[in-house]
Amino acid sequence: MKNLLRFIGVLAITAAAFLLGTSWRINNPPKPEIQQAKSEQVTTFTEERVAPVRNNIPSGLNRDELATISLFEKATPSVVFITTSDVYRDWYTQSYREQKSGSGSGFIWDDEGHIITNYHVIKGASKATVTLSDQSTYTAKLVGKAPFKDLAVLKIDAPRAKLKALKKGTSDDLRVGQSVLAIGTPFGLDQTLTTGIVSALGREISSEGVPIRDVIQTDAAINPGNSGGPLLNSSGELIGVNTAIYSPSGASAGIGFSIPVDAVKWVVADLIRYGEIKRPTLGLEFIPRRTTYRLGIKGLMVSQVDKNSVADRAGIRPPFRDNQDKLHWGDIILAIDGEPIQKQRDYLVALESRRVGEEVEVLVKREDEEFTLKMTLEAVK
């Protein structure tokens, strides 16, 4: 009997404890802020995994800003600072002294140490020094110069691990309005980035009194010291060499000019190989393809014939007005040795594969007539 009473008592205590615990949970639910804190912790962890902050780049940047930062960081090791100096004789001490004469920008062309810059950056200098992005400095040797193209090639003896060349793009398919970036060392400062757009194409500037045609115009700020630096597209590819600004005050006024990379490629190839331009030519300049394409014209229309050139002697005609003031379009080059010529690049490739003194057959269209002329290639003068 005592055991039965003891069992009933234990059972009653257990039941009372169960009812008391249930009542406590009903009247005292978990605090909402604790649940919210757990939820926020999970959300934050997920966001950090999806978009972690890398390379000490601050948060809150949009995709375009991140792309520009990435492009700049990848390109700057290829951009160099160039200082030039003159050596003169002190007539009092009869000793030779070196004096800084100027500065500019340049960029690494290949892993052999070739550096591209403007001719006017090194013009008249006795010595040129190249400073890489890691601040290491090398004395440069002049490999070749093209004053009429405002281009020069230097060479430094640096470890290949430090020679990061820019990726070359093309200037044949540029469009007004596309984004561009200019990198240089204006005023002797560290690498500086300016951004803008292609403002115009087919511009003409002058170098050593000789016109440079089909130049790129941009509103990306090109200040003194930017000369010789690269103009890049939004993929980080080289599309031009910054060469000049138009400004009465000498500072950037939103009108800068760059030599298109398609021209730079063949000029640099000649300068590295010969020290000067020896590319075979017919002595022709052409109306930009983007203009003639809208007119439905196939081939390259001649805009100018160099005086006394092989094309001039062969009778190739640029646009002209007759005695009745009627405009006649220039001759159209359709093919060279059977190779169709549709773009400026086709023309350059067709000539670069040949040598000075070689004879070529040129298919020409004049108004409604087609005919073939034999011409002997000459060197660019």
Active site members = 120, 150, 227
Distances from the Cα of 258 to the Cαs of 74, 186, 194, 201, 301, in angstroms? 21, 16, 14, 10, 23
Dist CA 162 CA 363 (whole Å): 47
Angle between helices 344-352 and 261-274 (to 10 degrees): 10
Residue 380 has, within 13 A of its CA and on its CB side, a CA count of: 19
| Residue 194, number of CB atoms within 10 A of its CB | 21
DSSP 168: B
Kindly give, in sequence order, each residue whose CB lies less than 8 Å from that of residue 109, ignoring residues fewer than 6 positions away: 115, 116, 153, 165, 166, 268
Tell me which residue of 161, 201, 162 sits closest to 178, measured CA to CA.
201
Dist CA 261 CA 268 (whole Å): 10
Residue 377 has, within 13 A of its CA and on its CB side, a CA count of: 22
Burial bucket for residue 359 (CB in 10 Å: 0-12, 13-18, 19+): exposed
